Chain A
Protein backbone atom coordinates (compact mmCIF):
# COMPACT_ATOMS: atom_id res chain seq x y z
CA UNK A 1 0.00 0.00 0.00
CA UNK A 2 0.90 3.66 -0.10
CA UNK A 3 1.64 3.91 3.59
CA UNK A 4 1.98 1.84 6.75
CA UNK A 5 -1.46 0.70 7.85
CA UNK A 6 -2.27 -0.16 11.47
CA UNK A 7 -5.46 -1.69 12.75
CA UNK A 8 -7.42 -1.12 14.83
CA UNK A 9 -6.84 2.61 15.30
CA UNK A 10 -8.26 2.36 18.83
CA UNK A 11 -8.63 -0.60 21.15
CA UNK A 12 -10.16 -0.63 24.61
CA UNK A 13 -9.73 -3.82 26.58
CA UNK A 14 -10.19 -5.03 30.12
CA UNK A 15 -7.27 -5.75 32.38
CA UNK A 16 -6.15 -9.35 31.99
CA UNK A 17 -7.42 -9.77 28.43
CA UNK A 18 -5.37 -10.69 25.35
CA UNK A 19 -5.01 -8.24 22.45
CA UNK A 20 -3.56 -8.34 18.94
CA UNK A 21 -2.44 -5.28 17.03
CA UNK A 22 -1.85 -5.49 13.29
CA UNK A 23 0.64 -3.70 11.05
CA UNK A 24 0.63 -3.77 7.25
CA UNK A 25 3.93 -2.28 6.01
CA UNK A 26 4.70 -0.45 2.79
CA UNK A 27 4.91 -2.93 -0.07
CA UNK A 28 8.50 -3.99 -0.66
CA UNK A 29 9.81 -2.86 2.73
CA UNK A 30 11.71 -5.77 4.22
CA UNK A 31 12.26 -4.24 7.66
CA UNK A 32 9.44 -3.70 10.16
CA UNK A 33 9.58 -2.09 13.59
CA UNK A 34 7.27 -1.77 16.58
CA UNK A 35 7.50 1.16 19.00
CA UNK A 36 5.44 2.11 22.05
CA UNK A 37 4.63 5.74 22.84
CA UNK A 38 3.35 6.58 26.30
CA UNK A 39 1.51 9.83 26.91
CA UNK A 40 3.86 12.81 26.75
CA UNK A 41 6.86 10.73 25.73
CA UNK A 42 8.75 9.88 22.58
CA UNK A 43 8.37 6.48 20.93
CA UNK A 44 10.35 3.63 22.50
CA UNK A 45 11.69 0.75 20.45
CA UNK A 46 10.15 -2.68 21.04
CA UNK A 47 11.19 -5.07 18.26
CA UNK A 48 12.64 -5.10 14.73
CA UNK A 49 11.99 -7.69 12.01
CA UNK A 50 14.17 -8.31 9.00
CA UNK A 51 12.00 -10.47 6.78
CA UNK A 52 10.24 -13.09 8.88
CA UNK A 53 12.69 -13.16 11.75
CA UNK A 54 12.99 -10.90 14.77
CA UNK A 55 16.46 -9.38 14.40
CA UNK A 56 16.27 -7.41 17.65
CA UNK A 57 13.61 -7.88 20.35
CA UNK A 58 15.57 -6.15 23.10
CA UNK A 59 12.85 -3.55 23.67
CA UNK A 60 10.04 -5.94 24.56
CA UNK A 61 9.30 -5.13 28.22
CA UNK A 62 8.48 -8.68 29.38
CA UNK A 63 7.27 -12.07 28.19
CA UNK A 64 3.66 -10.91 27.95
CA UNK A 65 4.64 -9.16 24.72
CA UNK A 66 5.26 -11.12 21.54
CA UNK A 67 5.33 -10.24 17.85
CA UNK A 68 5.27 -12.29 14.67
CA UNK A 69 5.72 -11.69 10.96
CA UNK A 70 5.14 -15.14 9.45
CA UNK A 71 5.29 -14.23 5.76
CA UNK A 72 7.64 -11.28 5.92
CA UNK A 73 4.92 -8.71 5.35
CA UNK A 74 2.09 -8.17 7.86
CA UNK A 75 3.09 -8.24 11.51
CA UNK A 76 1.03 -8.80 14.65
CA UNK A 77 1.98 -7.55 18.10
CA UNK A 78 0.40 -9.72 20.77
CA UNK A 79 -0.04 -8.73 24.40
CA UNK A 80 -1.16 -11.31 26.96
CA UNK A 81 -2.76 -10.60 30.34
CA UNK A 82 -2.90 -6.87 29.65
CA UNK A 83 -2.19 -4.45 32.48
CA UNK A 84 -3.23 -0.82 32.86
CA UNK A 85 0.40 0.18 32.37
CA UNK A 86 0.28 -1.24 28.85
CA UNK A 87 -1.97 1.65 27.82
CA UNK A 88 -0.12 3.59 25.12
CA UNK A 89 0.00 4.23 21.39
CA UNK A 90 1.69 1.35 19.60
CA UNK A 91 3.43 2.55 16.44
CA UNK A 92 4.63 0.43 13.56
CA UNK A 93 7.23 1.53 11.00
CA UNK A 94 8.73 -0.07 7.93
CA UNK A 95 11.79 0.61 5.81
CA UNK A 96 14.10 -0.71 3.15
CA UNK A 97 17.39 -2.12 4.41
CA UNK A 98 20.87 -1.08 3.49
CA UNK A 99 22.71 2.14 2.67
CA UNK A 100 21.52 5.53 3.83
CA UNK A 101 18.23 5.22 1.93
CA UNK A 102 16.71 3.12 4.69
CA UNK A 103 16.35 6.16 6.93
CA UNK A 104 14.74 8.47 4.40
CA UNK A 105 12.18 5.75 3.69
CA UNK A 106 11.59 4.85 7.37
CA UNK A 107 7.85 5.43 7.56
CA UNK A 108 5.57 5.28 10.60
CA UNK A 109 1.93 4.30 10.68
CA UNK A 110 -0.67 6.30 12.59
CA UNK A 111 -0.58 3.87 15.49
CA UNK A 112 -3.05 1.90 17.58
CA UNK A 113 -4.17 3.59 20.76
CA UNK A 114 -4.53 0.85 23.37
CA UNK A 115 -6.44 1.58 26.55
CA UNK A 116 -6.55 -1.03 29.29
CA UNK A 117 -9.34 -0.43 31.80
Chain B
Protein backbone atom coordinates (compact mmCIF):
# COMPACT_ATOMS: atom_id res chain seq x y z
CA UNK B 1 0.00 0.00 0.00
CA UNK B 2 0.95 3.66 -0.08
CA UNK B 3 3.64 4.73 2.33
CA UNK B 4 4.88 8.12 3.36
CA UNK B 5 8.48 8.45 4.50
CA UNK B 6 8.87 11.20 7.03
CA UNK B 7 12.17 12.60 8.25
CA UNK B 8 13.77 13.15 10.58
CA UNK B 9 12.22 10.68 13.03
CA UNK B 10 13.16 12.92 15.95
CA UNK B 11 14.62 16.35 16.56
CA UNK B 12 16.19 17.91 19.64
CA UNK B 13 16.50 21.68 19.37
CA UNK B 14 16.92 24.79 21.47
CA UNK B 15 14.02 27.13 22.06
CA UNK B 16 13.99 29.84 19.41
CA UNK B 17 15.50 27.69 16.67
CA UNK B 18 13.80 27.04 13.34
CA UNK B 19 12.68 23.51 12.48
CA UNK B 20 12.29 21.77 9.14
CA UNK B 21 10.82 18.34 8.44
CA UNK B 22 9.74 16.65 5.25
CA UNK B 23 7.71 13.86 3.80
CA UNK B 24 8.16 11.88 0.59
CA UNK B 25 6.10 9.27 -1.18
CA UNK B 26 6.39 6.92 -4.13
CA UNK B 27 2.75 7.69 -4.93
CA UNK B 28 1.10 10.90 -6.03
CA UNK B 29 -1.26 12.62 -3.61
CA UNK B 30 -3.63 15.40 -4.61
CA UNK B 31 -3.74 16.82 -1.08
CA UNK B 32 -1.11 16.97 1.66
CA UNK B 33 -1.83 17.62 5.32
CA UNK B 34 0.30 18.32 8.36
CA UNK B 35 -0.92 17.33 11.85
CA UNK B 36 0.39 17.71 15.39
CA UNK B 37 -0.34 15.15 18.07
CA UNK B 38 0.11 15.75 21.80
CA UNK B 39 0.30 12.86 24.30
CA UNK B 40 -3.08 11.25 24.89
CA UNK B 41 -4.77 13.25 22.17
CA UNK B 42 -5.75 12.74 18.56
CA UNK B 43 -3.95 14.50 15.70
CA UNK B 44 -4.90 18.13 15.14
CA UNK B 45 -4.74 19.64 11.66
CA UNK B 46 -2.14 22.39 11.22
CA UNK B 47 -2.04 23.03 7.50
CA UNK B 48 -3.77 21.64 4.40
CA UNK B 49 -2.22 21.91 0.92
CA UNK B 50 -4.43 21.40 -2.13
CA UNK B 51 -2.33 22.35 -5.16
CA UNK B 52 1.09 21.24 -6.39
CA UNK B 53 3.61 23.98 -5.69
CA UNK B 54 1.37 25.64 -3.10
CA UNK B 55 3.13 27.39 -0.20
CA UNK B 56 0.90 28.05 2.82
CA UNK B 57 1.55 29.69 6.17
CA UNK B 58 -0.26 29.46 9.48
CA UNK B 59 1.42 31.75 11.99
CA UNK B 60 4.96 30.46 12.55
CA UNK B 61 4.28 27.39 10.42
CA UNK B 62 4.94 27.21 6.68
CA UNK B 63 4.30 24.20 4.49
CA UNK B 64 4.78 23.48 0.80
CA UNK B 65 3.19 20.94 -1.54
CA UNK B 66 5.92 19.62 -3.85
CA UNK B 67 5.61 20.23 -7.56
CA UNK B 68 5.76 16.49 -8.30
CA UNK B 69 2.91 15.89 -5.79
CA UNK B 70 5.11 13.29 -4.12
CA UNK B 71 6.58 15.38 -1.32
CA UNK B 72 5.93 18.14 1.19
CA UNK B 73 7.82 19.99 3.89
CA UNK B 74 6.87 21.79 7.09
CA UNK B 75 8.90 24.59 8.66
CA UNK B 76 8.40 26.00 12.15
CA UNK B 77 10.11 29.30 12.87
CA UNK B 78 11.28 30.53 16.27
CA UNK B 79 10.23 27.41 18.16
CA UNK B 80 8.55 27.73 21.57
CA UNK B 81 7.96 25.11 24.28
CA UNK B 82 4.37 24.41 23.20
CA UNK B 83 5.66 23.23 19.81
CA UNK B 84 6.80 20.02 21.51
CA UNK B 85 4.93 17.01 20.18
CA UNK B 86 4.77 14.62 17.25
CA UNK B 87 4.21 16.00 13.76
CA UNK B 88 2.65 13.85 11.06
CA UNK B 89 2.32 14.38 7.35
CA UNK B 90 -0.66 12.78 5.64
CA UNK B 91 -1.69 12.36 2.04
CA UNK B 92 -5.15 12.11 0.55
CA UNK B 93 -5.62 9.82 -2.40
CA UNK B 94 -7.67 11.09 -5.36
CA UNK B 95 -11.28 10.05 -4.91
CA UNK B 96 -10.76 8.47 -1.48
CA UNK B 97 -11.81 9.82 1.87
CA UNK B 98 -9.00 8.17 3.82
CA UNK B 99 -5.68 9.59 4.95
CA UNK B 100 -2.29 7.92 4.64
CA UNK B 101 0.06 9.02 7.43
CA UNK B 102 3.82 9.20 7.75
CA UNK B 103 5.64 7.71 10.74
CA UNK B 104 5.91 11.07 12.51
CA UNK B 105 8.65 13.44 13.64
CA UNK B 106 9.03 13.80 17.41
CA UNK B 107 10.08 17.34 18.33
CA UNK B 108 11.77 18.00 21.67
CA UNK B 109 12.75 21.53 22.72
CA UNK B 110 15.40 22.35 25.30
CA UNK B 111 14.62 25.60 27.09
Contact = CB atoms under 8 A, between A and B. Distances in A.
A103 B42 contact: no
Nearest to B102: A42
B99 to A, nearest CB: 7
Interface residues of B, number: 24
Q: Is the interface of B mostly helix, strand, loop or mixed?
A: strand
Interface residues of A, number: 29
Interface in B79-98: 88, 90, 92, 96-98
Contacts of A33: 97-98
Interface in B18-42: 31, 33, 40-42
A59 B45 contact: no
B88 A42 contact: yes
A102 interface: yes
Contact of A44 (B42, B97, B101, B104): B101
Contacts of B50: 100
Interface of B: 4, 6, 31, 33, 40-45, 48, 50, 88, 90, 92, 96-104
A55 B98 CA distance: 11
A108 B35 CA distance: 11
A108 B98 contact: no
B101 A103 contact: no
A31 interface: yes
